[in-house]
Structure 1
């Protein structure tokens, strides 16, 4: 751990430009002699000469011969025309180069004394810092000098003239302490680092340096096919960029070996965030290849891994399980029939150490989340987030017999049941985790404090509950597009007859599109026929919106594959069959506050010596079941592909006009982005291509 935090610390600090104002360090290029650091290290046997390689503020890089390389914490003396400056060796850079710190202030730097108490021993060191140093940089420097790992919290105080300890937690407090160089002595206090947050894969893991994050990875993602999926990426070896895929890094860092099929358990991976690195080196391990990358802002390492039962989330003694005889929390077919959420909260405590509680509440919550980054103009990339709670139902499932008093619990099973409203949307994940609708069961146990000094009076148990919605197959709504002129007068040089039997379809179904073409003029010829279903995604916040689109399924017929009859109108006929993917690969038609998904059938006929024909119609893709037997639901297929946790960099985002916000969601979805060479491409955070795009804008004249 010490090696990791040393390797990562300080790598994202901004490199100051060389200037003329470096005080006594300026232009000193010769005459460096290692001398003894009294009472700290042994005396050097002889004076050896090194050469200055670089001066960066108070940092000086010096090169020696291999035989005379000074040890860390030894002192060097710079002597140039009577000017004397002492340097302290802080790091070996390789190639016989040492990095030193000037032990004298310059016009841009100052010396502070830092005091650190560890295992009842007090250590003090002088550190040269920039007068305009940031709190984040100061903490990284202190961690490095005192060998404090990122598994511990660091609190920084300074000692004022009255010998009071003043906390430094914000940039303003540091700037106030540094004003006029008043700060002289700092004191640091370390405390054990605890888990700060928890997220559910494939959400993007986020955190600050030193923080821990638990990532719940469900069993369906724990297969070697998912780990080797080319849609996901990882950068680095053992230390990874914070946008690296968590499953890939688990396998690559040899923390887990994944089977070919999903195991009967989930896992919780603990990530610890570190400072960014100058360079990330890729490698191959256990069939997973990581990539190289240059400087990046934040890193993480895999700090731990623990298996979890599919129904358990936070505790081995208090957990949520399915109802007896059930395979999920959802019972029934939401949308097609009545549906409920049913389960059991189980408490299993030892006889010697019971749980003392006075109330247990349980809530079922539905949340909507959207996050996207995009190009607001040609030079600016911005990120936008919106979230809301659209459903919440709370119940109290247990109280102590004595009101307000704690009661001992050793073993207790508490069944629960929530009725689901018929209009609840299903759980979805779209655009690589940028848009999500999800549900969660959350049990809160009001308990006695485990530690008299602790402020925690509640124990929380959470589990994500997937919700599936069903729609009874509607009556057919046929559509037809027809242009054919009979008789001697034929104003159209080309005619067509295209029909669609059903505008609502489900996963695994086949849509048949009969197409008949008529050629009334000999100079008009057929080039190609394209039929496809295009899927549109819209993500929006209160101020901004963006969209993506791709073809869900498509078929193309070229001229050589389409037979033309020898009749008077040169007729040709073909049936196009579009096979809708199975449920695991689908995002169903949806319209909510921040997310919209809709589909269009597109028919394009390419002609020679005549304008092309373009036909489109909105269609719905829903999870369909039979009205007579809604239990005849097709089982879920094994996942072939999955969404990744990388958030894409969208081609364009635009500021939402407040007048437009009042329009219906259907009108808002008409936003199109023009002048894009590849409309299906999604640019992620590493794309160097910055497209020049134009958004269509409608103005009204008065």
Structure 2
């Protein structure tokens, strides 16, 4: 029996299609909910899926070759004044023939066919991203089925049918554990502090989206008239969009946190020394200000800084900042599994090398 339905739970939504056809469509591999398989940036990653063809017997698909093409593109759209400098850069294209006529040049009739495919990905690929403001920019990937057909037009030997769908790509990192050695932040203001001694540090400079970090802060107030009003902490995200002649910058505070002076606790046994381990969550509930991972591609660069500002009563404010890398991190359970797989793989390689060495000794 011909299958004339699409299981929506195993297929990309209609909104992801760039070129669609109701009887030729993509679906995910069994037991998967997306095309990307594996943690890009940590392990070998591939794109897998199935191209499904469901045509009525009265109107079969005539073709002699079917290809799957995976492309990665970088797009920057400028305003009307600068639109002549729009960027549309294709930085990767991988093509695979997944079906071919058994007789070269002879078109065959297809009514029902499921064609699985697998595309290994290079490790250097950037993650998909979308910037809506101030200038529309994106890095995106497309899966395309290219189907050769006989042409209906005089003088042309063949025609091409295309079905294409957006294929989101995510990069990953192993979980980031805080280091035992504190990392000093850089002071960006140098006021006369009226007897204020301070120390501001980070426990890590690679931060996982959705995780928390600790910022140890130590203050000693020698002047009894000076006290802390509040401590402001923020994650600032910078966008650099490049074209032929001009570079556009944009920056905004993505996540903010505050600690007020009356929340500070004196160090035991002292009268003027305060220590706090400020907790800072890299979580945004407002989708308009979603944290983007750090990216460095040909035309789009995204980087981040942690900024700390300490406001005083009766003393100038002081500011600190430190550039950090923001990444997607996998859970501890998956990290343990990958580590174990690597260990087994390394032992297997060592066993093979040892066996080869023994064999060489015997034959020599």
From the superposition, tell whether residues 348 and 312 of structure 1 become closer, same or farther in structure 2 (CA, over 3 Å): farther
From the superposition, tell whether residues 530 and 312 of structure 1 become closer, same or farther in structure 2 (CA, over 3 Å): closer
Work out the CA distance in 2 between the residues paired with 1:404 and 1:417.
25
Aligned equivalent of 2:124: 423
Give unpaired runs (5+ residues) of structure 1: 1-218, 220-261, 269-309, 375-380, 484-490, 634-702
Whether contact under 8 Å (2:19, 2:162) holds in the other structure is: no
From the superposition, tell whether residues 265 and 476 of structure 1 become closer, same or farther in structure 2 (CA, over 3 Å): closer
Q: Can you list the C-alpha shifts for 1:316-370, whole angstroms capped at 9, x where unaligned?
A: 1211211223211111111121211111112222222222212222110011111
Whether contact under 8 Å (2:12, 2:27) holds in the other structure is: no
User: How far apart are 1:592 and its partner, in Å?
Assistant: 0.8
Moved more, 532-541 or 426-435: 426-435
Aligned equivalent of 2:226: 524
TM-score (structure 1 length as normaliser): 0.41
Whether contact under 8 Å (2:176, 2:208) holds in the other structure is: no
Partner of 2:58, secondary structure, is coil
Q: Does 1:464 align with 2:169?
A: no
Give unpaired runs (5+ residues) of structure 2: 1-7, 188-192, 339-364
TM-score (structure 2 length as normaliser): 0.77
Work out the CA distance in 2 between the residues paired with 1:482 and 1:597.
20
Partner of 1:624, secondary structure, is coil
Aligned equivalent of 2:305: 600
Aligned equivalent of 1:343: 49
Aligned equivalent of 1:399: 100
From the superposition, tell whether residues 496 and 406 of structure 1 become closer, same or farther in structure 2 (CA, over 3 Å): same
Work out the CA distance in 1 between the residues paired with 2:17 and 2:256.
39
Aligned equivalent of 2:240: 538
Aligned equivalent of 2:360: none
Aligned equivalent of 1:434: 136
Which one of 367, 386, 389 corresponds to residue 73 of structure 2?
Answer: 367
Whether contact under 8 Å (1:313, 1:319) holds in the other structure is: no
Q: Can you list the C-alpha shifts for 1:151-192, whole angstroms capped at 9, x where unaligned?
A: xxxxxxxxxxxxxxxxxxxxxxxxxxxxxxxxxxxxxxxxxx
Q: Can you list the C-alpha shifts for 1:124-149, whole angstroms capped at 9, x where unaligned?
A: xxxxxxxxxxxxxxxxxxxxxxxxxx
How many equivalent pairs are there? 318
Partner of 1:457, secondary structure, is strand
CA-atom RMSD in angstroms: 3.3
Q: Does 1:550 align with 2:252?
A: yes
Work out the CA distance in 1 between the residues paired with 2:29 and 2:268.
67
User: How far apart are 1:403 and its partner, in Å?
Assistant: 1.8
Aligned equivalent of 1:580: 282
User: How far apart are 1:590 and its partner, in Å?
Assistant: 0.9
Partner of 1:496, secondary structure, is strand
Work out the CA distance in 2 between the residues paired with 1:315 and 1:389.
25
Work out the CA distance in 2 between the residues paired with 1:366 and 1:435.
14
User: How far apart are 1:538 and its partner, in Å?
Assistant: 1.3
Moved more, 461-470 or 598-607: 598-607
From the superposition, tell whether residues 361 and 335 of structure 1 become closer, same or farther in structure 2 (CA, over 3 Å): same
Q: Can you list the C-alpha shifts for 1:641-680, whole angstroms capped at 9, x where unaligned?
A: xxxxxxxxxxxxxxxxxxxxxxxxxxxxxxxxxxxxxxxx
Q: Does 1:333 align with 2:39?
A: yes
Q: Does 1:480 align with 2:184?
A: yes
Partner of 1:495, secondary structure, is strand
User: How far apart are 1:587 and its partner, in Å?
Assistant: 0.7
From the superposition, tell whether residues 475 and 556 of structure 1 become closer, same or farther in structure 2 (CA, over 3 Å): closer
Work out the CA distance in 1 between the residues paired with 2:139 and 2:297.
9
Q: Does 1:493 align with 2:198?
A: no
User: How far apart are 1:607 and its partner, in Å?
Assistant: 2.8
From the superposition, tell whether residues 403 and 565 of structure 1 become closer, same or farther in structure 2 (CA, over 3 Å): closer
User: How far apart are 1:599 and its partner, in Å?
Assistant: 1.0
Whether contact under 8 Å (1:311, 1:322) holds in the other structure is: no
From the superposition, tell whether residues 481 and 450 of structure 1 become closer, same or farther in structure 2 (CA, over 3 Å): closer
Work out the CA distance in 2 between the residues paired with 1:410 and 1:519.
81
**Structure showing greater Rg:** 1
User: How far apart are 1:565 and its partner, in Å?
Assistant: 6.9
Q: Which one has more relative contact order, counting CA pairs under 8 Å at least 6 apart?
A: 2
| Structure 1 segment 2-81 matched on structure 2, within 5 A | none
Work out the CA distance in 2 between the residues paired with 1:547 and 1:450.
50
From the superposition, tell whether residues 565 and 406 of structure 1 become closer, same or farther in structure 2 (CA, over 3 Å): closer
Whether contact under 8 Å (1:535, 1:599) holds in the other structure is: yes
User: How far apart are 1:608 and its partner, in Å?
Assistant: 4.1
From the superposition, tell whether residues 447 and 572 of structure 1 become closer, same or farther in structure 2 (CA, over 3 Å): same
